[in-house]
Structure 1
Amino acid sequence: MKSQDIVLLLKLVSLAQSEKALKAGELPTRAKKALPDWQDWEVESEQNSLDLEPHWSRHELHERFITEQYGVRALEKSTGISRTQISLALKRCYAVGLAKPEHSTGTPRVNSKALFEFLVYGLRYVFPAAAGAVTRGISTSLGAPVLEGKLMTAGELLPVWPDARGNTKGVSVEPLYKSVTYAVRQDQQLYALLALTDALRLGQPRERKLAESQLYALMRKEVSPWHKSQFM
């Protein structure tokens, strides 16, 4: 397993949650508009978006979403991971049971229960992280919006992924993969998932426990038909 595999799996979790929103009649872009303060960077004029027409039926919206978001080319665009690396990552994930292709469409589906267990119990040993020098970047771990204000002390420098567009000065943490800061600017849910993952890699027992509970709450929303009741 390589670190980009984790980034890709979490992106697939985020996409599955957007599918759920579509099936409920909600356009994926609405969640982003409802949370205007989730970005910890200078907002760019262009971000990846799905070209959906509100007058389409739910079935049409869902089919378009599957077609436009799950292809290797689309995943490359949304994550910054090359198509070759995405294909190899999927093969590795299929081989170890962390994902499988959907029988009817070939859409990659994550085994969320297995992924959650690996993130909580194995990730910090396979892909450890440590705080580095002070720099400017995008806040992660306990400094990210998903955990903002929890367990931090006044004046403490926040962990950040080094990035010239970031808004926060803090201690640098190398992201799981080199394109993480690009990928999270496209997807607020992926940002939250990766920030919580960093809290599991970096934190002390109390911080890891908090991150585990928050990650559980986010990942149980994923409704892959492969494991509908896995977090119930």
Structure 2
Amino acid sequence: MKSQDIVILLKLVSLEDQIRQGCLDEPVSSDPFALRSLEGALGISKSEISASLRRSIAAKLAIKSNDRPKVNRRNLTEFLQHGLKYVFPAKPGAPQRGVATGFAAPMLEGQLVSSGADIYVWPHAEGSQRGSSITPLFKSVPEAALKDERLYELLALVDAIRLGNQREANLAQDRFEERMARA
């Protein structure tokens, strides 16, 4: 597994949810699951996306369904809850300007009150927040998150799981499970 595999799987979850809810922003003529569409949305090359999907299918985090990958949400949730912070740990770095992540992300802000806790950001030139920098799972994450609010929320929760102490990680895991269960 590579860290971008998680980003790609979360993008697929976001697309599946948007299609189910009928609020997909993609033009009707294009297939949002096509490698070219994913490349444009995530800033990851088509060959890397293809290799990532093969790894995810081999790891049983996705299955092939109707010639396109479908995320095995239960297995992905289990992996994120129990293995992510060990496989892809996050270490806060120097303060920088960037895109808020973890519980500082706009859709999660105020859900956890921690005394004196810094906010975390993915370094990004156009970011509006300043906080301790966190290396994202993949270098294009800030751009991709700004294009897709659902993906942003999932990635922020994943960072909260990677970063948080037990209480914060448990709350993030609960929120992540809710997002994965709802359509």
Instruction: With the length of structure 2 as denominator, give the TM-score of the two structures.
Output: 0.95
1:145 Cα shift?
A: 1.8
1:71 to 4, 24, 34: 34
Is 1:86 aligned to 2:49, yes or no? Answer: yes
Partner SS for 2:98: strand
Distance 1:28 1:169, change over 3 A: same
Matched residue pairs, number?
A: 183
Could you tell me which amino acid in structure 1 is paired with residue 67 of structure 2? G
Partner SS for 1:69: coil
Mapped to 2, the partners of 1:169 and 1:214 lie a distance apart of 24
Gaps in structure 1 of 5+ consecutive residues = 30-49, 53-63, 223-232
Which segments of structure 1 move beyond 3 Å, counting only runs of 4 or more? Answer: 152-156
Match of 2:4 in 1: 4
Is 1:51 aligned to 2:27, yes or no? Answer: yes
Contact 2:15 2:24 in 1 (8 A): no
1:149 Cα shift?
A: 1.2
Question: What is the aligned-residue identity percentage?
Answer: 45
User: RMSD of the TM alignment (CA)?
Assistant: 1.4
Q: Which has the larger radius of gyration?
A: 1
1:155 Cα shift?
A: 5.7
Contact 1:157 1:169 in 2 (8 A): no
Mapped to 2, the partners of 1:201 and 1:153 lie a distance apart of 16
Match of 2:96 in 1: 135
Mapped to 2, the partners of 1:211 and 1:204 lie a distance apart of 10
Match of 2:144 in 1: 183
Contact 1:135 1:162 in 2 (8 A): yes
Match of 2:118 in 1: 157
Match of 1:112 in 2: 73
1:137 Cα shift?
A: 0.4
Instruction: With the length of structure 1 as denominator, give the TM-score of the two structures.
Output: 0.76
Partner SS for 1:139: strand
